[in-house]
Structure 1
Amino acid sequence: MDNWVQLFREPEPVAIIVLLLLLGSLVQGIRRGASGSARRLFFFVWEAAVIVVCLIVAGRLASALSPVVAEWLNGQVHIPSRELNVFEQAWFTLLTSLRDFALLRYGVLFLLGYLLLRALGAFVEPLLERAVEGILRSVKEEPIRGLPAKRSASRVAGALIGTAHGAGRSFVFVALLFVYVSLMPSGWYADKISNSPLYTETASWLAPVAGDVLEGQGPVLAEAVQAQFQQILQRKYEIIDYAIPAEIEQAALYVTQDALTKEDKARKLYDWLGSRIAYDWDKADNYVQQGIWKEQTPTETFDTRKGVCIDIARLYAMMARSAGLEVRVVTGMGADGRGGYGPHAWNEVQIGDGDAGWIPLDATWASSGDWFNPPRFEETHIREA
């Protein structure tokens, strides 16, 4: 009991908000009386139950439908081999991201499923509301005798019900804070929330129920979301570069004309770019020292014969696709030769079946050694996802 008294002796934001929720619900209860407060409390509980059920069902549906949708999109999405306008680029970026990125696909399916279930629940709620109104109206008060006393009793009962309603609202509020702090322990104001005595008291009740599920998932989930977001941003390059200019296609076919295998093709393209595309130090210095970034297309890299890592990786990907190879641009961190790492981009190309058939290569670093699928490539290249 002393703990609860102490909570309000030294007010802090969480306790103040909870106190306002309790007082607001108490005042509402007094104004509405017993029947009005009972109706509001019933629908508060009903709404909470519907939300929980919809969240659970939406999660199950998203898990079940995600692989089905991925397979369907894999067979349906075909990017036109022509220059795409801005809207087409955005549309195909969305479709291919939904096809390839499981976390994004699950999130979209979960949201759509939840909204659909809530919409279906909205059809049931008016029927339930009419039934509750009918029950409440059937409890008739005597018209004259004892009317003031009945009103007073109704207000007292309303106050009690309103307080219970406020307690429910407060518990939901603190539960949301608990989820926020558990998933994002380094998030905005999370440390202040954790130091709140009221939050600590309530979290001790929630932890046995949800703590094991949420504990430690915040950083992992945040990293996964950030990594997939970077992949989606990276996907725009693939969509933009899908239309292959004739001169680049002809060059790629010429370079790989004598190659007998996919690995031979990938190696010949690596050698060609590594020996003909110079690193653009001026562009890199402008970005590092002045924050000026010049976006350039693979065509510009091909014509000028210079570019930074992302430019070379994009040109390699375009030429590899021209030669019939499956290829992707990878972004992450590359070793700087001084014991540190800096932003970098390279490629992965598929020369065999399945995930094991993908090999890494770094045409940007070709002048410093053989970076075509070398041993321990991952020690110098750390991918974002």
Structure 2
Amino acid sequence: MSKAIYISPIDGKPGKPGQVYYPLSLRTIPKPSPQGGELLVKLTAASLNHRDLFLRQHLYPGVTFDVPLLADGVGFVVGAGPNVPNPESWHGKRVILNPGVGWKDSPDGPEEATGYRIMGGTKVYDKGTLQEYIAIEYSEVEEAPEHLNDAEAAALPLTGLTSWRALITKAGDRNSGSGAAVLITGIGGGVALMALRFAVARGAYVFVTSSSQEKIQKAIELGATGGVNYKEEGWEKKLLGLLPAEKKNFDAIIDGAGGDSVEKSVKLLKAGGVLSIYGMTVSPKMPFTMAAVLKNIDIRGSTMGSRKEFKEMVEFVKAKKIFPVVSRVLQTDLDDLAAIDGLFEDMKQGTQFGKLVIEFSKSTGSKL
């Protein structure tokens, strides 16, 4: 048998979006048996993303009470289906899971008509990582980077993939590589911090914004060149003043806020610079101004990423020995719903700097 955590309806029925907070529930389910090309993975750690909080508030599409929560996970292989090539080579291997399916390698977006489907808590994909065992296609895992412990490996998949596409694919080598000036807004969240890690490793000058001086200082300790408090009057001018002498403007902005980002980008970006937007936490709409048109600002939406980009991201993490930023690790059994609820509370309060991880087992390896 396998323990798994789901969300449950209140009084047996769904609530109204934004007016409900679904409780967590622990269930004991049959341990999956790997079929076809599937691997059986004993999961050891999983991490939270904002989508998991939105699911509990019924603010995410396709909410269901019949799929375990969470999309990020790490574990070791303990079984293989009959169609897995060289099954013995997999035994005991520590792997991280591609957090979604439906997108193979197109640079434009998901190839499948159903679109990109993310693990955890929705009707569109019947798998989630907040459980002891999971059966998943061998083509949907990557060997976990050896330099990462389980908590760090579990923190990598979704935010790593999202930031990789926003920074590398969308902003491009010229605007995010060696010598480029990159601004990352709202530092502290998982995606922003991974974008910081990647940009620093690529040799860019990286700057950040936050309403917290403490978070700005932490970002500088992680390799950022500098940062400003976006609540200060005239912060844009102050930020431009921090640029190295050879730079007059930023090459790219990696933004998860939305709101007035286009208006701000006109002041901050070079002509033809890139505003790469992976989220809109401030507002679901943003105006596209004529000033941005006249400056040839290139605005690119970015979400998640392909299987190809996931592999590229993991290989880069391995090569550069990059560590995801982990805010807190909860070491507990899946039975402890109160403690796991506390991790969700951290996310609700927005107090974290980095990822929130549940470590519920140890990687010990096992024979098939």
TM-score over 0.5 (shorter chain): no
Which structure's CA Rg is the greater one? 1
Normalized per residue, the structure richer in helix is 1
Tell me which of the two structures has the higher relative contact order, counting C-alpha pairs closer than 8 angstroms and 6 or more residues apart: 2
